[in-house]
Structures are given as C-alpha cells and as structure tokens.
Chain A
Amino acid sequence: MIENSHLLPYARRSDFKVARANELTGKDRRFFRFLEIVPGVAAWSTIIGIVLASIYTPFIAAYFIIAFSIYWVLKTIFLSYHVRYNWKRLKHHMELDWEAMVQRFSYDKYYHLVIFPFYKEPIEVLEQTIQGVLASKYDAQKLIVVVAAEARAGAEAEAVSRSLEEKYGDSFGHFLVTIHPDNIEGEIAGKGSNVHWALQQVKKQVIDVQNIPYKNILTSVFDIDTVIYPDYFNCLIWFFMTVENPYKSCFQPVPLFTNNLWQASALSRVMAMSSTFWQMIMQERPEKAATFSSHSVSFQALYEIGYGQANVVSEDSRIFWNLMIANDGNFEVVSMSYPVAMDATTAPTFWGTIANIYRQHRRWTYGVENWCYIVYHFTKNKSIPLKKRWSVALLQGEGYWSLVTNPIMLFILGWAPIFLGTREFHETVLSYELPIMVRNLLIVAMFGLVVSAVISLSLTPPRPDGHSRFRYIVMMLQWIMVPVTMVVFSAIPGLDAQTRLMFGRYMGFWVTPKERIN
C-alpha cells in the first residue's frame, strides 16, 4: 500500500489526480465525461447559434452583434487598464534592489529548488538557462538545481545533462540530473510527468539526504528556456516572507517571451507579447488567475499533495488546482510582477513558425481540461466555500468559452447577418449600418493595440548589433495583425482543443521546439 499519511486529507482520494473520464467508473465517469463535452458544446452552440440566428432572425442577430461589439470595446478598455497598471508595477519592481530589501528577513535557511525539465532542446538553450541561475544575486550554495531529462529523448539528452552537471555541478549547492523513465503506467509523456519524477528524485537524493526541512524549500519549476532576472530569487523570498499564507501560495512571475525576440518573426513577436500581456492582466485579476508556465511554490505544499500530476497536458495550471482543491480552497496565486525571460515560439521557416505557434496554443488552450477537473472536484469537496466554487467555475468556464468564441464572433460572424439574412433585413438601414457600426467599434477597440505596442516596445530587450532601427517601426506596426492572430492562433486552436476533448480524443503533450535562430 502506498504511504500517503503525509498527504492532505482530500489529496488521499483515489480520484484526486483524475485526468480523464475513462479513469473513473460509474456515475463519476459519466459526470466527468459530461464535463468534457460541455465546453465544446457551448462553443459550437454559440457559433452555430449565431449563424442560425443570422439566417432566421437577422434583426436579433444584428442587435446581439452590436451589443457584443460594444462589450468588446469596453472589455478592451478594462483589460488595457489592467495591463497598464501591471506594466507600471512590473517596471517598478524591475528597478528595485531586492537583494537589499530581503536583508531585513532571516532567510538563510531557505533553499531554492529549481527544476528544469527538458526534452531534446539544444545545449545552448540549457546553457543560457543555467548561466541565468548562476548570475542571480543569491547565494549559489542555497540553490538546488535539477536538470530533468527524459529517457525517451535518448542518450544524447542524457549526455547533455551530464555535460552540464560536469560543467556546473560545483557551482551550486546541489546539482542533480534526473532521467525520467519512459512508459510509466498512468502517465502521459510530457513536462508534467517529468517534473513529477524529478520532484520525487530530488527529495530522495538530495533533500532527505541533506535533511532539509520541506518548509524551507521554495520550488521553482521553469521551462527550459526560462532565463531568470538576477533578483528573481530575492524577489521570490521577499514575497514568500511577506504574504499572509506563504505555504498556501503559488508565486507567479510575468513570462516575457523576449529571449529571441530580435530573431523572431513579427508573427512570433505578436503572439509572444500577446501571451505576456495576458499574463500581465492575470497578475491583476487574482480571481481568474492560475499558475502558468514558469512559477514557484513551497516544496511543503507540493509534498502535501504528492507533487505534480503526471497524466495531464496543462500541468502548469493543474498544479495550482491540485493545491487549491486539496487545501479546501485555501490556496492562492500571488502575482510577483517580476519577469522571467523565455523564448518566443519560432521555427526556421515561416510555415514552421505558424505550425509551432498553432500547436503551442492548442496545447495551452487544452487547459480547458482543468475546468472539468475543478468542476468535478467542486462537487466533491464541499469544504470549499460554495460561493468560491461557483465563482471559480463560472469565471474559468467563461474564460475558455470567450477565448474560443469571441474572436470568431467579432471578426467573422459579425458580418453573418449581412450575408445570411433575409431579404427584409437586407432592405433595412440596420443591414447597411451594421458593418459600419461594427467596423467603427473595432477601430475604437484597436486603440487598445496602441497601448500594447507602446508597452511591448518598453519590454523589448536592447537592440543587438546587426539589427536595423527600422525594426522598431515594424515592432509597432506588427500589432495590426492581432485581429488575425486572435482568430487563427487563439480561437481556432482553442476550438480544436475543445472539440477533441468533446469527442474524447484526448491530446498528448506536444513539446514546443526551442531553437535559437540567427
């Protein structure tokens, strides 16, 4: 029998880390399957509903589209307000001397456990990442660095890990290479299962051996392209020491996808910065926030839920929902408003870039599997306040629904009554005014892009030699692509992901290639 006395009571349930309906039986299985179907049905119903309304009740469809366009303008203003606030906070935090600020605390006892899961990324990506940790303003002897390789990546990946261990092993307090075995039953190949394995190995091989209290370890799980800013660990300590419930908190930095921004195409840059902005908005909207990509949490919290979840695609957010549900709702995301630098998604060719961005966003939007998970457990864990269960379920559900439907409604279906409406509709002033009104409202909404363009330039790394100043103009103008990118790289991959889940065609983890393009 697996020893689980260290787990929180709710985390001891056999279905605590359920990923799919087919892992359950009976009524639970049917309910979970129903939840898997709901997002796809909601999205498709909305899209088909607008098409049908445009055909049979074009006047109502037109009124709805006007209402939706106004809503979109106001939503843009609302979100721009959040971005701008977070941008000010981010810039301010980047200017602070966190090393000096944490001196007031007694933090010598705290270790930073940093896990870098990787697959087949080139060694220069790993080197840049490790050197970023090495350059941090924190006592390196208090750093436990884990390079988590995959056995399925072959001997070359292990060789890369070992070469890093040889080169940097003595530079840190502890340096561990873990090799995640292939084909462990109940797991899906990917970052989640790799991290889950690495956490167990580092506990066994380092933490328990060194007898380090779990409460004294702050765990940061970073994507392999994550280059931390020098004060990241000090900043993290500062937040850890000052938040109300440090062991009931995840700490979320702002991912800036800027490592290769000057080498990336305009399309990659727009998508990268859009993702950054979304995370900046989330930093100011704690009621909607969950962990994303690189983030930190105490080892104690992870230990209490049995580490991560090895059978899901969107493991970065799932870890927060695991923690929140196991802690009866008493777990929160603390927004650090401090950056970590990551890679914009690229490929050697234009079409390769498009394919990679699409696949990456489909994987991200497959995070809708988390909605099934949280709603399922909200019906089970009655210790979580009812209001919180309802608000989280509705907010998250609305988020996944709007992600998929809003861009399509706005940029495609907004014109449907004009093309599909009845003869009576086509003769009306409303039919002629509708496209003009929608166009004007979208132009107003586009002013939000000006905010985006200005902020993105301020977050852009210094121009490297060999790159023209003209590129700055391109970086401003690139934002006009947003209406297209929202449909092609948000709505459609989101719809793709939700449709797959709806039909039970579960996705696996697709590893985003990390390359350095010169």
Chain B
Amino acid sequence: MTHEPQIQILPQKHRSIFFWVLVVIFLITLPSLIFYTTGYRLSFENEETSIVTTGGMYVTTDNLEVDVYLDEEQVERPRLFRSAYYIQNISAGQHRIVVQSPGYQTWVKELPVDPRVVTEASAFNLPELAQIRPITLYETATGTSVYFSTKIVDKVLAQATSTEAFYYSTSTATTTLQINSEFLFVESLFGTTSTSTQSVFSKLIEEVGKFGFATATPANAPSSSFTTTVERTLRGDMELFDEAGELYAKWLGSSAAIPYYFCISDLPVASTSQRYGEHVAVAVEAARVSTSTPLLIDNNRVCRTQVKLNRLRQDVFYYHFFPNSSDLVLMQLQDGIYVTEIDDRAWQNTQLLYPGTDIQTIVENDVIYIKDGEYYFQIATEIETN
C-alpha cells in the first residue's frame, strides 16, 4: 500500500472518456428505445432481419384467477395490477382473445390489432353455478337463515351454490327464532308485503315494470309490469332503454369521454364488417345518416352513440345495469337471468347468471335480489367496478 496520499482527484481524462462513452450510449439508446416504445420490433422470421410494426391489446378482467389466451397461447399473468393484461408485440391483424377459468364461464372476443395502436377490451367471467345468499323470514339468534323444508335444495340449490350456511328446522315452531328484517325489505321490493311497506318502496316497485315490451311473462311477474311506455335506466352517462322490442345502450356524455367500444376505425363498410362484424358495419352506416343518433367522427375514428344489446332472441322481462358496472347489463329473459356486455365489436358475450322461468329479479343498490317461487335470495357477484 502506498504511504502517500492519493492527492489526485479523479483524472480529468478518465472523466472525459467516461463522459463521452455515456454520451455515445445515450445517442444509441434514445432512438432505439423510442422506436421500441412506439411499437417497432426487429423480426428474424424467415431467416431475414426486418423491422416490423406491432400493436398491443389491453384486456381488463373482473377475476384475478383467470387465464388469458391470445390466439391459443397463454398470456403471462401480470405481477402487479393483476386485473389488467397489457399484451405487447402483437402483429397487425385479427386476433382472438380468450379469458377463462375453471368454474367460470368463458369470455371470447376476436378483435383487430393495428400497428402502433392498442386495442382495448374488458372481459367478464360469471361463475358457472351462481352463488346465492338465502334470505328467509326467520333466522336463528346468530343470524343463520332458517328453512322449514328441504325443498330449497331441489328448487334453488340444484342450479346454484350458497355463499352462506342455512339451517333446516324440523319443527314449525318459531318461538326460538327471530324475524329477519332483510326478508321483509326484500319481500316489499317484490310487492308482496303490507300496503304500508309498499308505499315506502313504491318507487322501487315501479322499477320492476320496466320489462314493458315483453311478449311473454314469467308466471309470477307483477301484473303492473306491462306497459308500452319507453323505460330508461341511467348510470353515469350511460342509458339503457327498450324500444320496439329491442334493448339499447346509449351514450349521453361527451364525445371525449365515450367508452372505447362505441368507437372503431373509420374504414370502408367491407373492412369494418371484416374487422368488427357485419352488424357493426350496418349500425355504423345507419348512424351516418341518422339524425337522432348521429355518428361522431373524430379524425380517424367513428363512434356510434347507441348499441343494440343481444337478448338471445328472447323476451326481456327485466333489465338493469349489472352491479357496479356501466359496461355490463343484467337481463331477465325467458329462461333465466343473463349478463351481457355493451361492447358489440365482433359479438356480445352473454353469460347465464341464474337459470329459471318462475323467477323475478330486482337490482337495488347494486344488489341483485331474486325471487324464485317462494324463495328469496341475493346473488353474489364477484364482478367489480370497471
């Protein structure tokens, strides 16, 4: 070891060399990273090196445990923000995205990807077997729902599972039980309680009558539900309404805030039909000449303000926004309760929430209440805010 101080500070020559090396690295790195972040990639396919432009897909899901596939290849789960998948390096063209999970229904969409552009989509996956929470007139002191027969098993639990325990009472005696106030509330929602209670919830009960355009009625549907007026449901700037036997979602807000699925690239009819489906091409062309729902044209994209919802060729007895969502719609059809997405690009995914013909539905404060025969229950939803 030297016994002299290392008096010299870092030599200027060393610093200069180091500095200029870093400058060169900067000059090389900057254009490379700008090209990369704008979607350009080096391609080594066919033993030839070329530069290709790629796009991306951004898919949000309501279920953290799903698997996402792009063109049959599984996409790696994100480490953070696990409800959102950003898929990079996608070549331009049509791509099929599948979101699935065991025990849940599958969501599928085929969408176009353009160079340097990210295509958005929002997937939802309902459980194959609905999860219900029983609501009974009587409950134990600890709050457990009480049934006086096991018919519930055949009637409801044959097509659903319960999220909460309940209790079968072998006796009809109710002295040790307590009245469940929630039951009274739900019962009043469906309009079967006393007059006084009905008056409190009369407004809500009128909501039940929204399925005015139905041509067939479930057995226990309230008689007051038949009406020919156009009913409208609003959430934020999104409106649901029925007209001439069809169900529509309409955007009432500004063009700047319009959800992405209302908008597509402004292309000839044939291209639009190929990329998004014929129904979208037809709807866009209709909107071009419409005065009531005109097309919003913004640079290279066109936006409809109204989308027809897929009711599976069935009559709709009830509809409402799915809890905590303005992109999904809950519909009670002839053979059950379904949830459909407003996004009609390619097609609308529609999933069965709860099957049945002898049922009534009410969404109150973002809670779905079902009356199936004599049983009342709530349907649990895992779907969170979009």
- Could you tell me which A residues sit within 8 Å of B by CB distance? 62-63, 66-67, 70-71, 74, 77-78, 81-82, 85-86, 88-89, 92-93, 95-97, 101, 235, 238-239, 242, 283-284, 286, 335, 337, 423-424, 427-434, 436-437
**From A70, A97, A431, contact of B30 by CB (8 A):** A70
Known contacts: A70-B29, A430-B116. The answer to whether A286 contacts B39 by CB under 8 A is no
CB-defined contacts of B38 to chain A, threshold 8 Å: 428-430, 433
- Nearest-CB distance from B192 to chain A (Å)? 49
Task: Describe B's contact surface by its main secondary structure.
Answer: mixed
Whether the Cβ atoms of A432 and B33 lie closer than 8 Å is no
How far, in angstroms, from A437 to B118 measured CA to CA in the complex? 16
Q: Which residue of A lies closest to B257 (CB)?
A: A423
Whether the Cβ atoms of B58 and A432 lie closer than 8 Å is yes
- Nearest-CB distance from B4 to chain A (Å)? 8
CB-defined contacts of A92 to chain B, threshold 8 Å: 5-6
CB-defined contacts of B10 to chain A, threshold 8 Å: 81-82, 85-86, 284
How far, in angstroms, from A85 to B88 measured CA to CA in the complex? 41
CB-defined contacts of B7 to chain A, threshold 8 Å: 239, 242
Whether the Cβ atoms of B37 and A71 lie closer than 8 Å is no
How far, in angstroms, from A269 to B39 measured CA to CA in the complex? 43
Whether the Cβ atoms of B5 and A101 lie closer than 8 Å is yes
CB-defined contacts of A86 to chain B, threshold 8 Å: 9-10
How far, in angstroms, from A208 to B4 measured CA to CA in the complex? 36
Whether the Cβ atoms of B116 and A437 lie closer than 8 Å is no
How far, in angstroms, from A78 to B56 measured CA to CA in the complex? 35
Q: Which residue of B lies closest to A100 (CB)?
A: B3
Residue of B19, B54, B118 with highest tally of chain A CB at under 10 A: B118
Q: List 20 A-B contacts (CB under 8 A).
A: A70-B33, A71-B26, A78-B19, A81-B10, A89-B9, A96-B3, A96-B5, A101-B4, A238-B5, A284-B10, A423-B256, A429-B39, A429-B54, A429-B56, A429-B117, A430-B116, A432-B56, A433-B38, A436-B86, A437-B37
Whether the Cβ atoms of B118 and A283 lie closer than 8 Å is no
Known contacts: A89-B6, A423-B256, A430-B39. The answer to whether A63 contacts B34 by CB under 8 A is yes
Which B residues between 23 and 58 are near A, CB-CB below 8 angstroms? Answer: 25-26, 29-30, 33-34, 36-39, 54-56, 58
Known contacts: A78-B19, A101-B3. The answer to whether A430 contacts B30 by CB under 8 A is no
Whether the Cβ atoms of B118 and A429 lie closer than 8 Å is yes
**From B34, B55, B58, B88, contact of A66 by CB (8 A):** B34
Whether the Cβ atoms of A434 and B37 lie closer than 8 Å is yes
- Nearest-CB distance from B54 to chain A (Å)? 7
- Nearest-CB distance from B127 to chain A (Å)? 31
Whether the Cβ atoms of B18 and A93 lie closer than 8 Å is no
The answer, yes or no, to whether B286 is at the interface (CB within 8 Å) is no
Known contacts: A284-B9, A430-B39. The answer to whether A70 contacts B26 by CB under 8 A is yes
The answer, yes or no, to whether B223 is at the interface (CB within 8 Å) is no
Whether the Cβ atoms of A431 and B22 lie closer than 8 Å is no
Whether the Cβ atoms of B30 and A66 lie closer than 8 Å is yes
Whether the Cβ atoms of B86 and A432 lie closer than 8 Å is yes
Whether the Cβ atoms of B36 and A433 lie closer than 8 Å is yes
CB-defined contacts of A428 to chain B, threshold 8 Å: 38-39, 116-118
Known contacts: A67-B30, A284-B10. The answer to whether A429 contacts B55 by CB under 8 A is yes
Residue of B7, B36, B37, B55 with highest tally of chain A CB at under 10 A: B37
- Nearest-CB distance from B269 to chain A (Å)? 22
**From A63, A77, A239, contact of B22 by CB (8 A):** A77
How far, in angstroms, from A89 to B9 measured CA to CA in the complex? 8
How far, in angstroms, from A67 to B18 measured CA to CA in the complex? 19
Whether the Cβ atoms of A78 and B18 lie closer than 8 Å is yes
Whether the Cβ atoms of B30 and A432 lie closer than 8 Å is no
How far, in angstroms, from A86 to B26 measured CA to CA in the complex? 25
- Nearest-CB distance from A490 to chain B (Å)? 23
**From B5, B25, B56, contact of A93 by CB (8 A):** B5
The answer, yes or no, to whether B299 is at the interface (CB within 8 Å) is yes
- Nearest-CB distance from B332 to chain A (Å)? 36
Whether the Cβ atoms of B6 and A74 lie closer than 8 Å is no
